[in-house]
Amino acid sequence: MKPRSLSRRDILRFTVAGACAGFAGGCTNGFDWGGFFQKRFQEMSPAELEKTLLRLERKYRRKYGEPFQVTATPPRERTVFGFGLDLSKCIGCRKCVHACVRENNVSRDVQIHYIRVIRLPEGELELEKGDHYYTPAAVPEEGYYYLPVSCMQCENPPCRKVCPVNAIWTEPDGIVAIDYDWCIGCRDCMAACPYRAIKFNWTEPVIPDDELNRKTDFLSNRPRVRGVVEKCHGCLHRARKGRYPACVEACPTGAWKFGNLLDPGSDIRRALERFRTFKLKGVLNTVPRFFYFFSTG
Amino acid sequence: MADSVKECGMRWEALFILWLLFPASVALGEGPQELEPLPAPVLSSPLFPCSSCHTTEPGASLAGDSHPVIRVEGHTEKDYDCFVCHNRHDMDSLILFSGLTAPLGSSSRLCGQCHSTNFRLWSEGLHGKLVGRWDGPRKITPCTACHDPHRPGYDAYVPEPPPVPPEQTLWWRR
C-alpha cells in the first residue's frame, strides 16, 4: 500500500490546531493580547482609546501597585506651546533636569535625562566646546555660561520625518509626541535629531517605588519599557491643564519661560517682544519652538 | 479766519482733556495685564518687627552683632547708611527718594528707584519668577524673594549631580 502523504487539508488542519493551541497557551501565560492589537494613538477612536487607557491602568496597577492613573489629556484649542530660556539667568544648577526626571518617570539606573545643561566658555556658542558633565562645588562659575538643551518641539522635526512607523507626530498644540507602544526602537530619530534630545531605553527603566509618579498620561509620563525611545514632551499632562512644566516650576531663577505662542499676553510672547532671541542650530531649518535670549549683558 | 482759529482752540481743549484722561484709561485695564507680586518674605525673623527694639531713632551703623541676619556686604558695606532705604522716624517702614514712605514688604518700589531696567522687566514678568498657571492667574516673586536687599548678589548654588556618562551606565560596559 502506498504510504499516505500529507494532504493540503491535513496541513491546514495542523496549522489551525497549532495556532489555537498557541493562542490558548498565550492566554494562560498572560500574554497581553490587547496590547498586541493596540492601534496607533492617532488612529484610535474615542471608545478604543478609553478601552486602551483602562487596560493600561490595569497593567500598570499589576506591575506597580495601586493607585495608578493613565489619562489622555486632549490638546487645547488655539494653543501652541513655546519655550523660552534666559541665558543671563541660568546658573547651571540642574534643578530643571532632576525635577523633570522625578515628574516623568524617567529611568534612574540606566540614566536618562531629557534636559542636558551644557556649560560653555564665555564667548563661545560652539556646542562641541561645551561640557555637560561639569561638577564644580558651586555654580555659577566664573568665565562660563550654561545652555540647557532639551527637545525643541520643532515645527519641522527631523525625527518625525525619519520615523519608519509614524510613531512620532506633532500634536495640534505643537508638542512632538511619541507613541511608546508603536515605537519599534530603531533609533533613526536619535540619529536625525540635531539636538540629541531623544533618548533610548537600553534596559527596563528602573524607578524607585516611592519616587514613581502615579498620575500619568498616555503621551507623556506613563512608564516606558525596554527598547523604546523617549524625549521631552513639554510636560503635556501638566501644560494642557494650565500648569507650568516641571522644569519651569523648578527653576530657582525664573530663567525658563513657557506659554502659548498665540496669546500676546503670555510669558513667552512678552519675552519674544522684549528681547532679541535666537534658535539653536536655526540653520538646519528645524524651526524650533524653543527660544534662547540674553536678558542682560 | 477768526472762526478757524476758534475751532483750533476748541481742538486743543479737547486734546488737553484727552491727555488728562489718558492715564485713567491705561489704569482701567487697557494696557498690559499687571502682575501681582507674591508676599515678601520676612528677612530678619527673630528681630521682626523692627519697632520691637527700635523705639527711638537708631544710629546709622550696624554696631556689633545686634543684627546677625544682616551680612555687611554689598549695599551695607559702604556708600549707604541704613536710612537711604529705612525710614529713620518709623523703623517699620521704608523711605523712598521722594520722601514718601512705603511698607517694608514693598521692595520693588524701593529697589526700582535705582534698578530701573530690572524693575521694568520685573513689572512685565520677565525678571523674577512667575508662579501660578501659565494660562491664568500668576504672581511674580518680589525682589527680596531671591535677593537679600542688604547684599543683593545671588548666592552660589550647589549644583545637582551630573548625568552618569554612558560608559558607566550600561551594564555590559561596567
Tens-place pLDDT, residues B110-161: 999 999 999 999 999 999 999 999 988 899 999 998 888 887 777 788 999 9
Q: Provide the shortest C-alpha distance from residue B168 to chain A (in Å).
A: 9
- CA closest to A252 among chain B residues: B129
Residues 6+ apart with CB under 8 A from A64: A209, A212, A214, A223
Please answer whether residues A239 and B134 qualify as being in contact, where contact means their C-beta atoms are separated by less than 8 angstroms.
yes
Dist CA B104 CA B156 (whole Å): 26
Q: Helix, strand, coil shares of chain B as percentages rounded to 5?
A: 35, 10, 50
Q: Which of B117, B126, B164 to mutate to test the interface with A (most CBs of A within 10 A)?
A: B126
The reply to whether B170 touches chain A by the CB within 8 Å rule is: yes
Q: Which of B30, B135, B169 to mutate to test the interface with A (most CBs of A within 10 A)?
A: B135
Contact A242 B124 (CB under 8 A): no
Q: Which member of A110, A135, A243 has the closest CB to residue B133?
A: A243
Dist CA A225 CA A202 (whole Å): 9
* Three-state SS annotation for A97-129: HHHHHHHCCCCCCCCCCCCEEEEEECCCCCHHH
Q: Which member of B117, B130, B136 has the closest CB to residue A267?
A: B130
Which pLDDT belongs to residue B1?
46
This prediction has a pTM of 0.83
DSSP string, B97-151: TTS-EEETT-HHHHHTTT-HHHHHHHHTT-SS-EEEBTTS-EEE--HHHHSBTTB
pLDDT tens series, chain A, 297 aa: 566 677 888 888 888 887 877 666 655 567 888 889 999 999 999 999 999 999 999 999 999 988 999 999 999 999 999 999 999 999 999 999 999 999 999 999 888 999 999 999 999 999 999 999 999 999 899 999 999 999 999 999 999 999 999 999 999 999 999 999 999 999 999 999 999 999 999 889 999 999 999 999 999 999 999 999 999 999 999 999 999 999 999 999 999 999 999 999 999 999 999 999 999 999 999 999 999 999 986
Dist CA A207 CA B36 (whole Å): 39
Dist CA B1 CA B11 (whole Å): 16
Per-residue burial over A232-257, b if 16 or more Cβ lie within 10 Å, else e, is: bbbbbbbbbeebbbbbbbbbebbbbb
DSSP A277: E
User: At A185, is the secondary structure helix, strand, or coil?
Assistant: coil
C-alpha cell at B25: 484709561
Q: Provide the shortest C-alpha distance from residue A185 to chain B (in Å).
A: 17
DSSP A139: B
Contact A254 B161 (CB under 8 A): no
ω into A3 cis (within 30 of 0): no
Dist CA A188 CA A203 (whole Å): 18
C-alpha cell at A174: 505643537
Which helix (H) or strand (E) element contains residue A94? none
CA A173-A248-A71 angle, 5° bins: 50
Listed in order, strand segments (DSSP E) in chain A are 69-71, 81-86, 116-121, 144-149, 168-170, 176-178, 199-200, 215-217, 229-230, 256-260, 277-278, 290-293
C-alpha cell at A60: 500598570
Bridge partners, residue A70, by sequence: A216
Is the ipTM here above 0.90? no
Which pLDDT belongs to residue A98?
96
